[in-house]
Chain A
């Protein structure tokens, strides 16, 4: 996995609550057996009309936000299905960080597996950053995972919490499976004990 480094980038405002995974990547794009190439279909039904033309109003179609690396959104971002196609599509588009007052559980965890940092901040802080994002491409936000801060283009600093293990993996680009494989001995022992205690499993 790619390491998450400090980003200084354009943030796109998406002031909607309950942005679900069907919005992020509609199901017709789940028929792929690959992880890559989903970025063009990110937010497909909001981004294109039925003929495949861009809908100019949609934020990521606006010239100022085409290069956005950060999304600022409303509460419960990523609710709905467990499809990892959602973070794959965000990543493929170039989004590296999503800021919202809350995230759905599975989406939140899927982000970390793909080098995307989801940041939870209080509604008031998100409101400030949403306003900041609305300024367009001149307003660059800074996201510093090491320091656990987001800095608005005006220099206002917000601190965020992140699980120490997840932070460590993201900063170092570590692959979970490799880490768990190192504990193979513990898994063997557990399995042997469980086979005694619950042989019917």
Chain B
């Protein structure tokens, strides 16, 4: 048998049918659904008189526009249009008989945090969701990617997706990370290196010692942002850490099924001499704590650097950089660590897991946030929130002056009332710094939870190593 990559192996195990031109029908093992990109798909099913083909493989949770303030079960807390959307998901989940975690359920949270937490996401699976950060689930060695609403409808109706195979790209992070450097710094640095279109047409497999050393939480952070690098999906081969994380979760296999699953899962790695269409290698020790300065995730620099001069870019990037600096209200040559911020947001499917909250709490412990600062922690799920309370992290945040919120997407995309106002500058652990992403004319700097926590304490973008 010819050598295969991990991607090749998962792909081959899921092809239902392949046309001569390579157009394939791929079987989908898990379909995650949320309130924003699904109503039109369910409406489509109803209009055509179709059913959900595999309701047992379909999981729904509202996350994008639910409020994150305590007492939110009260429908009066939600604006009319958000309430209609959440109510539509309630109804669709019930009518079509799919697994559902309503707002009132402690297991509710961001769809990409709930899936792994509940053991829905398993190695070797195909996982899709009408959300681009579905790439997160790749951390388990699952082929996971975002789809549009028409495809959501297609998967609901047929449990398959029409796909063409992507190319294979290997991103290797060698050696060890330096102190203060985290999974977020890895994933941002990779995008800084390859650009936001560098992965277009590829599925990325992340490997190397620095990736192996990451926890499952860290690996999810890395894969989460594969989409920001343009890739269809990001993958990490499953290993002991993966199996340990999965074992015992509510929907993970048990007993003889677990044994059978393990047998297959252990074959899920890229063969030594597999073919790669593109290889990127980065030395772990070369990665610094980074922040973004512009309005694209590729606008990444070490915190010790200065705001770049647009003239230093090439082609269309010159005007893009100029536009970004105007939007961000920054000047070339300004030290990044001098940039003062108004708001700190810790949360999202990139960095809303327990390990992220631990890292942030370690920095703020015994300290206060800068006076006048608005800072909030939004746990990625109700269970993360409960665990953080049990571990005393919630108290650390509250004593420091952070708001302690309920689970949801919140200010990652600001569809709910958690938004930046015009010109407000935010240190954010989310994944997109696009114009207007966190609120009209809001200014976003992306960074790790530890770096965001440091910024909350000092009131400016800060090298977390100074506080360590």
Interface residues of A (CB under 8 A from B): 15-18, 20, 22-23, 26-28, 30-35, 45, 50, 74-76, 79-84, 87, 102-106, 109-110, 113-114, 123, 163-165, 176-177, 179-181, 183-184, 186-187, 190-191, 194, 198-201
Contacts and interface: CB of A to CB of B under 8 A. Distances in A.
B200 A22 contact: no
Interface stretch (B16-24, B210-218, B333-341, B381-389): B16-24
A84 B132 CA distance: 11
B436 A180 contact: no
Among B257, B319, B413, the one with the most A-chain Cβ atoms within 10 Å of its Cβ is: B413
A190 B125 CA distance: 15
Contacts of B415: 27-28, 30-31
Interface string B24-49: 01010100000011011001000010
B373 interface: no
A28 B439 CA distance: 10
A201 B122 CA distance: 8
A102 B195 CA distance: 13
A201 B39 CA distance: 26
A83 B37 CA distance: 7
Contacts of A187: 16, 25, 27, 53, 158-160
10 contacts: A31-B79, A80-B432, A82-B130, A82-B146, A82-B148, A83-B37, A110-B151, A163-B21, A187-B27, A200-B260
B150 A84 contact: yes
B81 interface: yes
Among B148, B158, B200, the one with the most A-chain Cβ atoms within 10 Å of its Cβ is: B148
Contacts of A102: 197, 200
A27 B439 CA distance: 9
A165 B81 contact: no
A33 B432 contact: no
A172 to B, nearest CB: 15
Interface of B: 13, 16-17, 19, 21, 23, 25, 27, 29, 36-37, 39-40, 43, 48, 50, 53, 57, 64-65, 79, 81-82, 84-85, 88, 122, 124-125, 130-132, 145-151, 153-154, 157-160, 162, 164, 196-197, 200-201, 230-232, 253, 257-258, 260-261, 264, 296, 315-317, 319-320, 323, 413-415, 432, 434-437, 440
A176 B261 contact: no
B229 to A, nearest CB: 10
A7 B319 CA distance: 31
B196 A194 contact: no
Given A15-B319, A31-B65, 13 more contacts: A16-B320, A18-B296, A22-B436, A26-B436, A33-B39, A75-B197, A104-B230, A180-B158, A180-B160, A183-B17, A187-B159, A199-B257, A200-B122
Contacts of A83: 36-37, 148-149
A50 B440 contact: yes
Contact of A81 (B39, B132, B440): B132
Contacts of B160: 180, 187
Query: Which 8 A/B pairs are nearest by Cβ-Cβ distance?
Result: A200-B253, A113-B150, A33-B39, A110-B148, A31-B81, A84-B148, A82-B146, A84-B149
